[in-house]
Structure formats: structure tokens, C-alpha cells
Amino acid sequence: MINLTLKDGSVRQVAKGTTLYELASSLSQGLARVAVVGKVNGELKDLDYALTEDAEVEILTLDSEEGLEVLRHSTSHLLAQAVKNLFPGTILGIGPAIANGFYYDFDSEHTFTPEDLAKIEAEMQRLAKEDNSFKCKLISREEAIQYFQDSGEKYKVELINDLPEDAQISLYTHGNFTDLCAGPHVPSTKMLKTFKLQSVAGAYWRGSEKNKMLQRIYGLAFAKASDLKDYLFKLEEAKRRDHRKLGMELDLFSLHDEGPGFPFFHPKGMVLRNILEDFWSKEHQKRGYVEVKTPIILSRTLWEQSGHWDHYKENMYFTKIDDQDYAIKPMNCPGGMIMYKTKLRSYRDLPIRCGELGLVHRHELSGALHGLLRVRNFTQDDAHIFMLPSQIKDEIIAVIELVDYFYKIFGFEYHIELSTRPEDSMGSDEAWEMATKALEEALQAKGMDYKINPGDGAFYGPKIDFHLKDCLDRTWQCGTIQLDFQMPEKFDLTYIGEDGEKHRPVMIHRVVYGSIERFIALLIEHYAGAFPTWLAPVQVRILPISDKHNAYAQKVQSILKDQGIRVELDTRREKINYKIREAQTEKIPFALVVGDKEAEQETVAVRRYGQKDTKVLSVEDFQALILDEINTKRTGL
């Protein structure tokens, strides 16, 4: 007998050789019916895996992320089987699970079309109903090479050749199809019910431009039909909310071939941008920050000293001045180091919180550029906090609270990841351990849930990343807190301690928006361009019914302008219904219709964006209503 420790901590004795499926059946027949895969000592295993020693065991269903990932990977095998059936001679690449679905790469003389996807999907549905079991077979490396050479699968042979000579190779078979795969898989194809093929794209074999371009078919897979339907709805909604489309329609910004990756902000876009920057500045002043501005171009020697030359050079732009090498800054921090060193610092001066809305330039590949989300120049809402070691925890907590305040103002939910030491890091093990521990302690002190993101820290320190969730449940990495013991060392930053001796300060790098440009893109898509009143570039448009009402409309405009309200007057000789429709199309929060009755009674007919009803208010009451929305920064979400 062997002892199995279950997820709830209970221990169950079973006979040696009991499979995971048999274990599930002994726990509950209902569990056995919906079981997808098992986890043994943290490793995923097929349900027919035999347990031979004491272990920690968990039975997973499609309610778990891991169960869903197995379902999606199994569906990729079904896709490959369908393609091989319909297009004989196709050579297989790889087919992993990805977020919300899967893909498979194919080398085929046939060019797949959208019409082909429908045929392939129908074949997948037919094959799934055959209820074929996924069976794993272990063979030697030599046998595997021979098998795939005989079947003409040259890419599989290449993958096997990269494995150790003594490796055992696992093949998975269902029906008439066998593939190279580490597994695990769902028990049977009958579990593969809810999927949809999406698109075809080109993909170089193993991601290298030196290799052949294959055809990659993408698909979606979910546990339930309702989940797929919801996701497809969100995809369509994402197209409607695309910030590139709305940015042009609302006259906020534009992108041009004359400056790929370098956005042009229009007057209305600048209004939105300035609101965000003014809000940022005021909130930071309240929290004891001072603002600085550092140069865009600095010498090569500075970037060598900071480590960017060795660790970040491929993302930087360069120029020469007086025959000396200079770089356009990709980050603001080295300039912050120079600012700190301009005078002697005392322990009484710390912490020093320096904020900078700094313009940076980073070289992105043209294929990676995407509206305002991925650009080549952007403004980071940076800050560098110089502090005593004893102040680390309190300062990190204060930054967490600041980020939380900002995101709640805009109506965003978020989750947190702690990114740890990367391979190309600099600094001692002790410094990294101390920095990582400090971030963990601050998160724990705030009671924040977080997950570890191994190896994704900055080259100079670990970091806390804030991932925003928008109204379509998409996540975006924006805010970050990076604890740095390396830069103060490299730049020989010091302060005079209570003992009169020089000591090394500790430093935090942090952003809240991440970049102004990217945050604007997220706001556009989150609100579908219908910004809350306090953010809207135009908050009110006054619509006189005819020319004789222009004088009263101008009077109302003047009253609202005096209160700092952003108001336009539409005096065009167009029908009033046309003017109202246009104000709605431009997503202006309030349209005020004024005619004879309104002029006589000194009222306005208020039409709020997205609503059909009109409400008549006195000018004074409307003014109070809109100022309340502006001052409270109401989101409307």
C-alpha cells in the first residue's frame, strides 16, 4: 500500500499501481466523470498514470487553469489530425496551448484559406465524436527518430535530435494519429467539444528568420459553449474599442509612415494627456514628491556606467556630438543619479522622492509596433526614491497605496506579480535576496495577493508589477516598483549618516501609468472612447436650435467656461437632430439643446451621452451637476 496526500491535506491509502483515474473514482464517481488530468508531486500526469510510491496528489478538472491548458493542447492534436486527414503530405511543426486556445504549425504545399478553416473545424468535430482515447507510449530516441523519418516528419526528427541521447521519447496516439509530445492529455477526444478555428498566419520554424516560413492555424478552446460565446463577443467588442480606430475618429492622435512608432497628438489628445499629467503632478505633490527634468541625450560613458550599454544597447538610439558617442535615453534613471550627486546629502534629507515625466526612446522592431500600446518614444511617469535601508518597507507600501489609488480612480482592477532575478542580472546574491525579501514583506504587510514571475526582474533589481484588467478582462502591465541596490553602488551615491560617515542609499524606481501613451490607449479601449466627464476633451457641446438662439447659447457657454468646464458651441445651420447625433458620435458627455423655451426660462435641455431621455435643468443646476462629476472624478463604470 502507498500513502497519497490529497489537496485538502487528508491521506488515503491505495494499492501500489492504482491509476489517477481509479483514485478519482474512489473519491467520487462525479469527480471521475469530469476529471481531466492529475498532479503528482506538482507534475501533471495523464489519468492512466500508475501511482507507485507515496505522493501528494490532486485531481484536476476543467474548472482549473491547468485542466483548461491540457484541454487546449489536446485540441491542437485534434487540429493536426484533421489537417493530415484533409491535406495528406502536410508536415507537422509544433502545436502548443496558448492563452484561450492553441495553434499548430504546418508545412504544406496547400495555402490554407478561411474556407479551409471551416472544413478543418468540421473534420475536428467529427473526429472528436469518435471518442478516441489519448494513449502514451515511451520509446527510445533512436526508435523515435526512425518512426518520424519513416513518416516524413522532418521537424519532429529535428526536435528529437536536440534531446539527450539517453532520453525516453513519449508519443501520443488517438485514432489514426500519432504525435511527438511530452503530454499530458485529456482521457478522450469526446471531451473536446467547444472550439473554433480563428485564423492563419505565417510563422518561421522555431522562430528564426533563417528557417522556412510555416503556416500557423490559431484556434480557441473552452470548457463550455457559453465561455466561447462570451470570448467571441469580447473579441468583437475589442475591435469596436480599438484605440487606433477611435483615436482617429475622436481626433485624439494619429500615426504616420514618416515616423513609425512616433505618435502625433492632436489638440483633443493633448487635452486628455494634460489632464492625466496634471492629476499625476498634484497627487505626487501631496505625497512629498518633487519634480525634475533630465536631458534626453547623454554620453555613452554614462550608459556604460549604468549598465544599460551592456544590457540594453540593442534597444537604444545613438548619435555623435563633437566626435563623441551619445545615446538618446531609453530610461530616466541615470539622469536621476546625476541629479542626486549634485550636492552632499544627509540622512535627515532622506527619503528624497523625485518624479519625472520623462520622454524616452526605445528601438522596437517594426512588426512589434501597435498603436500607442507599443511605440518608439513615450513619456514615462517615472520617480526615483532615494532612502535609508530602514525606510524601504514604508516607502514601498506608500507606492503600493499610490498605485492602488490611481487605478481605482480610473475604474481598473489589477493583479500583482513579483518578478525575480533574471539571468543577465548584475550584483551580488546577498543584495538580490535582500531586495526580493523587502518587496515580499511590503506586499505581505499590505495583505496583497501576488504571484511570483521567476526571472523577469530588471537587470539591476527585482520588481513588483501591476497588471490592469480592463472591461473586456484583458490584462496590461502598467505600474511597476523596482528596488535597486545596484545603481547607487555603480554611481557611488552616498549620504552622511548619524555617525558622520558616508553610507550608501537604497533606491526605488517606479511608475504608475507606465507610459502616458500606453495608458491613454488603455483608457480609450476601457471606456470605448466615451470618457468620464472629468477626462473628456470636450465635456459639453451647446446646440442652439436656430441662429436666433445663438446669443443665449453664447451666454451659457461663457458661464460654463468661467467654471473651467471645457465647452464647445455648435452654431452650424444644421437640423438639431443632426447636431445631437453628431455629439453622440463624438461621445461628448453632455449635449445642451437651447431654443425659445430655454432662452426664456434660462434653462438647458440636457442630453447625456448614451441616453435618449432629455432632462430640463436650470443653468445653475446643470453647472452644479457637471462640476460634481468633474470634482469627484466619477467614472460611470
The reply to whether 362 belongs to the active site is: yes
Catalytic site residue from 73, 174, 284, 362: 362
* 474: annotated active-site residue: no
Q: Which of 81, 215, 380, 539 is catalytic?
A: 380
**Secondary structure tally for the chain: helices H, strands E:** 20, 33
Residues in a beta bridge with 265: 253
CA distances 329 to 290, 309, 315, 363, 376, Å, are 21, 11, 10, 11, 12
* Residues 6 or more apart in contact with residue 187 via CB below 8 angstroms: 21, 35, 36, 46, 47, 48, 133, 134
Query: What cell does 500 get?
Result: 558622520
- Scan for cell 478538472, then name that residue: 61
Exposure on the CB side of residue 485, measured as CA atoms within 13 A: 20
Q: Please tell me the distance from the alpha carbon of residue 609 to that of residue 588, in angstroms, as a whole number.
A: 6
Catalytic residue from among 333, 381, 541, 566: 333
The answer to whether residues 35 and 61 touch, using CB atoms and an 8 Å cutoff, is yes
Spatial separation of the C-alpha atoms in residues 498 and 158, rounded to whole Å? 64
User: Would residue 509 show up in a list of annotated catalytic residues for this protein?
Assistant: yes
77, 156, 241, 509: which is the annotated catalytic residue? 509
Q: HEC string of 497-559?
A: CCCCCEECCEEEEEECCCCHHHHHHHHHHHCCCCCCCCCCCCCEEEEECCHHHHHHHHHHHHH
CA–CA gap between residue 100 and residue 98 (Å, rounded): 6
The sign of the CA dihedral 469, 473, 477, 482 is positive
Q: What is the dihedral of CA 370, 373, 377, 381, to 10 degrees?
A: 180
**CB within 8 Å of 312: residues ≥ 6 apart:** 330, 331, 459
310 is catalytic: no
Residue 553 is which amino acid?
A
Q: Name the catalytic one among 72, 329, 345, 384.
A: 384
Q: How far apart are CA 127 and CA 114, in angstroms?
A: 20
Catalytic residue (choose from 46, 179, 382, 484): 382
Element (H, E) at 360: strand 352-361
Residues 6+ apart with CB under 8 A from 256: 264
Report which secondary-structure segment, H or E, holds 231: helix 225-241
Among 353, 463, 526, 541, the one annotated catalytic: 463
Q: Which three cell numbers stand for residue 71?
A: 484541454
Complete edge-to-edge strand list for the sheet that includes strand 168-174: 135-140, 168-174, 177-180
Q: Rounded to whole angstroms, how far apart are CA atoms 141 and 351? A: 60
Alpha-carbon distance 69 to 375, whole Å? Answer: 32
Q: Which residues pair with 483 in a beta bridge?
A: 508
Integer CA distances (angstroms), 563 to 624, 627, 631, in order: 10, 8, 12
Question: What is the rounded CA–CA span in Å between residue 637 and residue 619?
Answer: 26
User: For residue 595, what is its C-alpha cell?
Assistant: 431654443
Quick one: cell of 439? 518587496
Tell me how far apart the alpha carbons of residues 371 and 361 are, in angstroms, rounded to a whole number.
15
H-state helical runs in 410-467:
429-445
Nearest Cα residue to 396 out of 427, 350, 445, 442: 442
User: Known catalytic residue: 384?
Assistant: yes
Residues labelled as active-site residues: 333, 362, 380, 382, 384, 463, 509
